[in-house]
Structure 1
Amino acid sequence: MPTDSQPELNQSDPAFISDQVSQARRYYLDLNPSTNDALTVVCGGVERTRADYVISRDCFPYFGMELVTEGRGEVWLGDRNFSLTPGVMFAYGPQTPHRIVSRPEFHMRKYFVDFTGHEAEAALRQTGLLSGSTLLATRMHELVALFEMLDREARIDGEIAGEVCRHVLQLLFAKIRQCCLAESPTMPRAYETYERVREHIEKHFLRLKNVDEVAAECDITPVHLSRLFRRFGGIGAYRFLLRKKMNRAAEMLLEERLLVKQVAEELDFSDAFQFSRAFKRIYGIPPNQLVESRQAALEAIKRSSS
């Protein structure tokens, strides 16, 4: 799976794409779609919001659909306000005023896809996402897999890339109808437990060392904890915990300019080698390489602008 990149290095994003993100991986398939097509994927991707992330639009050129996989925030759809937590999906149309805000202490990571066409509204409405409310994915990992497939297929050169992506989007619509439900006060008890545990990890991930500690503090068994995260989160509980730690590590490396050894000490790893191995497990590259590639890219931008 490709890793998310640093968004400020991309100079070709259209005006409606936010730059209030710390990481992003985006694709642009058809920014000038035909008005005669039934359904066209315009663009999409995945992004991690910054603390100051705010999107406020009275209108939008396409239909948009988003899935939150990490963090917390809020969304206003028209005059209705909803909390955003992992597994929550929401959508908007060209005439839907919407505002999306990330909670500063819980930066969101979310997938999105924008699309248009004369069948787009009806297809989206069938999922329940144009009812002015949000949906909750009970099997989030299945939806993530389809968002990732859209990303992968959109990057393949060829005349039928658009057609393939259209079929993947239609499959995504069907999958939403299969594994999403409208949020209500009568949510399944298992999901309520998952939410409680996930929020505990998000608040205390810096001091938590392993899944056994999480389970003990949340008064559930490690086996039950693992099942909850596989069912509702799409990843294991330890990987979720490790990802939170490595997200913080990336911030310390890139924004606070700490050394690898310093970050390892801050996150309570036994040594820099153990930390580097954990970092590579999440990002696919060691921390030193991330810092070096970021610095090289920034220097290249400076040279090109001088």
Structure 2
Amino acid sequence: MKQKEQIEKKTHLALEGSVNDEKSKYFFFDTKPDTKEKLAVVFGGYEECAPDFEIQRRTYPYYVLEIPTKGECFFEIDTQDYKLKKGTIGAFAPGTPHHYRCNKDDPMEHIFLAFTGTYASKLFETAGLGNGKVVQVTNFSRIDFLTEVILEKGLEEMELSSRLCSLYLEAVILEQTLSLSPSENNHTLSLEKYRKCKKYIDGKFSEIISPMDVAEACSVNIRYMSRLFKRYSNITPQEYIMRLKLNKAASILLTTNLTIREVGYEVGFEDPYHFSRNFKKFHGSSPLHFKNTHIGG
């Protein structure tokens, strides 16, 4: 049985369109991943499309990312017409009508990724992809490299392949976010405010007592700042600050002879008990046990 037919049976979703079966290759993971997964690649692959390659759907259950490596495809997404070719990426969200049709004189070769997850919608929004579109990217070489890595890891079918593919996919979409120009990004003002708050936290997290300190320093309403962090990083400001504090605390524990109390002070904890309790919750062990486990005691 051909590889394409095997995947159709296991995914219950036909990989439609005429392609070169000898050169095209596919991988698949769980077609119904845990609905609480932040991001989960379901399947993907590389296709060398035939001149008559064409797909038309009214809907699809997954988010899809298209990365052309050669040739051209006419791509209609929700009645909007685009050209999909190297230097662009295409994408559409579940429920979005779409129509692929290859340029017969220059058929497309592409890597495609189908995925789902609780974070997928926010990633699409942040990257300016909405419910679907084709966008020009300025850092295509990095995106091209990362998608090649995803394809390689997916085809390996190793124990951690699914997890690695999902992490690399997030990097691909975030790279697209970085390539947005102000005129292309409908959320420029909110994104700038988020970046301003995040930069302030990154530089001063050891001194920050609460998110209110950040909001006041950056002249942002605390509730609005919380919404920005949930929108662009899927985490609250408090969680982000605490993560930085406790990661730095772990580094200090492993590289200095400071006492547990002194380490807590270094990252902004006045109360040693409060520091130890949060450290154990985050790292899974008390500061002392953590240090003894990693460097002996």
TM-score by length of 2: 0.55
Residue in 2 aligned with 1:102? 102
Q: Give yes or no for the alignment of 1:11 onto 2:11.
A: no
Structure 2 unaligned spans of 5+: 185-297
Summarize the Cα distance change of 1:132–1:94 in structure 2 as closer, same or farther, 3 Å threshold. closer
Written as runs of structure 1 = structure 2, the 5 A alignment for 1:135-174 is 135-174=135-174
Q: Is the 8 A contact 1:75 1:101 kept in 2?
A: yes
In the TM superposition, what is the alpha-carbon distance from 1:25 to its structure 2 partner? 1.9
Instruction: Name the CA shift for 1:13/1:158 in 2 (closer, same or farther; >3 Å).
Output: closer
Q: What amino acid maps onto 1:32 in structure 2?
A: K
Cα distance in 1 for partners of 2:152, 2:15 equals: 19
Tell me the CA shift for residue 172 of structure 1: 0.9
Aligned to 1:21: 19
CA shift, 1:113, in A, is 0.7
C-alpha distance 61-139 of structure 1, shift in aligned 2 (>3 A): same
Task: Say yes or no: does 1:34 pair with 2:34.
Answer: yes
Alignment of 1:59-74 (within 5 A): 59-74=59-74
Task: Letter of the 1:179 partner, please give it.
Answer: S
Quote the Cα distance in structure 2 between the aligned partners of 1:9 and 1:153.
Answer: 17
CA separation of 1:53/1:159 partners in 2, compared to 1, >3 Å: closer, same or farther? same
Alignment of 1:284-303 (within 5 A): none
| Kept in 2: contact 1:41–1:166 (CA 8 A) | yes
- Compute the displacement of 1:159 (Å): 3.7
CA offset at residue 119 of structure 1? 1.3
Note the 1:189-200 alignment, pairs <5 A: none
Deviation at 1:155, TM superposition (A): 3.3
> How far is the alpha carbon of 1:85 from its aligned partner?
2.5
> Quick check: which has more Rg, 1 or 2?
2
| Structure 1 residues 107 and 123, CA gap change in structure 2 (3 angstroms) | same
Letter aligned with residue 7 of structure 2:
D
- The 5 Å alignment of 1:148-227 reads 148-179=148-179
Question: How far did residue 55 of structure 1 move?
Answer: 0.8
Q: Which amino acid letter does the alignment assign opposite residue 15 of structure 2?
A: I
2:111 counterpart residue number:
111
Distance 1:17 1:130 in 2: 24
Pair 36,88 (structure 1): closer, same or farther in 2 beyond 3 Å: same
| SS of 1:90 mapped into structure 2 | strand
Q: Structure 1 length normalisation: TM-score?
A: 0.53
Contact 1:8–1:19 under 8 Å retained in 2: no
Q: Work out the CA distance in 1 between the residues paired with 2:162 and 2:132.
A: 29
Q: Does the Cα contact within 8 Å between 1:27 and 1:45 map onto a contact in 2?
A: yes
Contact 1:80 1:132 in 2 (8 A): no
Q: Deviations over 1:9-68 (max 9, x none)?
A: 543122331241123121112222122222111111211111111111111111001012
Query: In 2, distance between residues paired with 1:12 and 1:120?
Result: 27
Q: Note the alpha carbon deviations across 1:214-252, whole angstroms, 9 max, x for none.
A: xxxxxxxxxxxxxxxxxxxxxxxxxxxxxxxxxxxxxxx
Q: Is the 8 A contact 1:20 1:53 kept in 2?
A: yes
Q: Secondary structure at the match of 2:130?
A: coil
Letter paired with 1:86: K
- 2:241 corresponds in structure 1 to none
Residues 93, 132 of structure 2: 8 Å contact kept: no
Q: Which residue is 2:133 aligned to?
A: 133
How has the CA–CA distance of structure 1 residues 182 and 46 changed in structure 2, closer, same or farther, with 3 Å as cutoff?
A: farther
Structure 1 runs of 4+ aligned residues shifted over 6 Å read: none
What is the alpha-carbon distance in structure 2 between the residues aligned to residue 65 and residue 157 of structure 1? Answer: 20
Q: Secondary structure at the match of 1:111?
A: strand
Conserved 8 A contact 1:25-1:45: yes
Which secondary structure does the structure 2 equivalent of 1:73 belong to? strand
**Cα distance 1:156–1:69, how it changes in 2: closer, same or farther (>3 A)?**
closer
- Quote how far apart the aligned CAs of 1:120 are: 0.9
